[in-house]
Amino acid sequence: MTKALYPGSFDPITNGHLAIIKRAQKLFDQLIVAVVHNPNKDMLFTLEERQALVNDAMQEVGLEGIEVVTYNGLLVEFARDMNVDAIVRGLRVNSDFDYEFQMALMNRDMAPEIESVFLMTSGRYVFLSSSIVKEVKGYGEKISHLVPKVVDEALSERLQSK
């Protein structure tokens, strides 16, 4: 049985992340989505909120049987603890590649038994990121075609209260 981990900040989850989850679910017997507690990044949503939004977003689009967990610290240590065969990451434009390549090789150096697997994002999300969604929503622009409804509503509420 193959088991993979899909880690990220998910601040918040977008349709681009969901597209990767859908693809990864077809490749592995078991998929775990892991939301990182990243103290050195300024997050809009709390760890618990980000985890809940991942769960709610997957429910909204009918993705089932995928565990959502949180982790703190080094990704590969957590991956070892979860006994996964692979770490899945989504790739967009080439700007992702340098960062992902460095992280993948560093992770391989620390945990050679865990493979990094990269999935190309769907073309329509090649520009999409949590950061750009938050920025554009902050200016009152429509993003309902880029994020699940639950995320759009959470962003409306959070950005209004800021």
Residue numbers annotated as active site: 17, 41, 92, 130
User: And the tokens for 54?
Assistant: 């991942």
Residues 74-93 that bind ligand PNS (CB under 6 A): 74-75
**Residues 37-76: x/- map of binding to ligand PNS (CB under 6 A)?**
-x-----------------------------------xx-
d(CA 97, CA 101): 6
Name the one range near ligand PNS by CB under 6 A: 6-14, 58-66, 119-127, 147-155.
6-14
Exposed / middle / buried, residue 1 (Cβ in 10 Å: 0-12, 13-18, 19+) = exposed
End-to-end CA gap in the chain: 45
Angle, alpha carbons 77-107-22 (nearest 5°): 85
* Between 83 and 160, CB nearer to ligand PNS: 83
* Between 8 and 148, CB nearer to ligand PNS: 8
Name the one range near ligand PNS by CB under 6 A: 2-10, 47-55, 58-66, 141-149.
2-10
Q: Tokens 């493979």 map to which residue?
A: 115
For residue 50, which of 32, 28, 33, 30 has the smallest C-alpha distance?
A: 33
Q: Name the site residues for ligand PNS (rule: CB under 6 A).
A: 7-9, 36, 38, 74-75, 103, 106-107
